[in-house]
Structure 1
Amino acid sequence: MESRHLIAAPRPSCFFEDDSTVSVLRRSAAEGVGTFLLMISVVGSGLQKGSSPLSSSIAISGSLIALILAFGAVSGGHFNPTITLVQWSRNQRRLDCTVGYVTAQILGSVAGGLVAGLMFDLTPGRPTCEPPTLSSLASEGIATFGLMTIVFCSTKSTSKFVGPFAVGLWLMGAIVSTPTGSIANPAVAIGLLATPGSASVLAVLTFIMIQIASGSLAAQITSVFYPDPRRL
Structure 2
Amino acid sequence: MIKRLSAEFLGSLFLGASIIGSGIMGSILTRDIAIQLFINMSATVFMLFLIITLFGPISGGHFNPVVTLADLFQKRMSVQLAIYYVLVQIVGGTIGVFIANLMFNRKAIDPSTYGRSGNYLFLAEVVATAGLILIIHLLRHQNRGHMTAGVLAAWIGTAYFFTSSTSFANPAITFARSWSDTFSGISLKSVPLFILAQVIGAALGVLLTALLTAEKKEEDVFA
* TM-score of the two chains, using structure 2 as the length reference: 0.86
Aligned to 1:85: 69
- Contact 1:140–1:180 under 8 Å retained in 2: yes
Shift of 1:160: 2.5
Q: Which of residues 167, 177, 181 is equivalent to 1:192? A: 177
The number of residues matched between the two structures is 206
1:29 equivalenced with 2:9 (yes/no): no
- Give the share of equivalent positions with the same residue, in percent: 27
Greater per-residue helix proportion: 2
Q: 1:131 to 1:60 in 2, by over 3 A?
A: closer
Aligned to 2:160: 175
The AA in structure 1 aligned to 2:81 is C
1:73 equivalenced with 2:50 (yes/no): no
1:223 equivalenced with 2:210 (yes/no): yes
**Correspondence list, 1:27-176, <5 A:** 27-48=4-25, 49-50=29-30, 51-123=35-107, 124-127=109-112, 132-176=117-161
The AA in structure 1 aligned to 2:6 is A
The AA in structure 1 aligned to 2:106 is L
| CA-to-aligned-CA distance 1:160-188 (integer Å, 9 cap, x gap) | 21111110111111112222211000011
- Contact 1:43–1:113 under 8 Å retained in 2: yes
Q: Which runs of 5+ in 1 are unaligned?
A: 1-23
| CA-to-aligned-CA distance 1:84-112 (integer Å, 9 cap, x gap) | 01111121110111011000000001001
Q: Which runs of 5+ in 2 are unaligned?
A: 217-223
Question: SS at the partner of 1:155?
Answer: helix
Distance 2:102 2:19 in 1: 14
The AA in structure 2 aligned to 1:215 is A
Shift of 1:25: 2.4
Shift of 1:129: 10
- Contact 2:94–2:175 under 8 Å retained in 1: yes
Distance 1:125 1:114 in 2: 8
Runs of 4+ with >6 A deviation = none
